[in-house]
C-alpha cells in the first residue's frame, strides 16, 4: 500500500534495524533514506536495470530516486517522500528491487 503521509517515519534505531535485513543497502541522509549502488558491465545493462526498477515502482506506486553516472554506475535511493523519511514500504521496495537486480559483485579481494 502506498504511503500518502499521516504516519511517522522510522526513528534512526528502527531504520538501522531494518536495513540490517538488506545487506546490499545502507542508510543515508542521517538515517532517513536507504541506498544501493551498482557497477554494471555496460550502459545497456544499466539502462535495463533502471527500466526494470521503474516498471516495478509503477506497479508498487512507490517511486525511488534513480541515478545513472559514468554510463554504468547506478544508484537507487528510497524514502517515503510524503513523510520525509523511511517507512516499511521503503524496505519492502528495496527487497523487491534486490529480487529483480543483477547479482551483486563480490567485494574486491584485499591485496
Q: Kindly report, residue by residue over 83-105, the tens digit of the pLDDT.
A: 889 999 999 999 999 999 988 66
What the chain holds in terms of domains, given with CATH numbers, is 31-100 (3.30.1360.20)
Q: What pTM, to 2 d.p., does this model score?
A: 0.87
pLDDT higher for 10 or 2? 10
Q: Tell me how far apart the alpha carbons of residues 38 and 36 are, in angstroms, rounded to a whole number.
A: 7
Cα gap 77→31, rounded to integer Å = 12
Rounded Cα gap, residues 49 and 64, in angstroms: 13
pLDDT at 111: 46
CA distance 6 to 84: 11
pLDDT, tens only, 8-17 = 889 999 999 9
Indicate if the pLDDT at residue 70 is higher than 50.
yes
Amino acid at each position: 500500500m502506498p504511503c500518502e503521509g499521516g504516519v511517522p517515519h522510522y526513528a534512526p534505531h528502527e531504520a538501522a534495524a531494518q536495513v540490517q535485513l538488506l545487506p546490499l543497502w545502507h542508510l543515508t541522509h542521517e538515517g532517513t533514506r536507504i541506498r544501493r549502488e551498482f557497477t554494471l558491465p555496460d550502459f545497456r545493462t544499466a539502462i535495463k536495470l533502471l527500466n526494470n526498477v521503474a516498471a516495478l515502482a509503477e506497479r508498487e506506486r512507490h517511486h525511488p530516486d534513480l541515478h545513472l553516472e559514468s554510463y554504468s554506475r547506478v544508484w537507487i535511493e528510497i524514502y517515503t517522500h510524503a513523510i520525509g523519511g523511511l517507512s516499511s514500504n521503503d524496505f519492502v521496495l528495496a527487497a523487491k528491487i534486490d529480487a529483480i537486480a543483477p547479482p551483486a559483485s563480490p567485494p574486491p579481494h584485499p591485496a
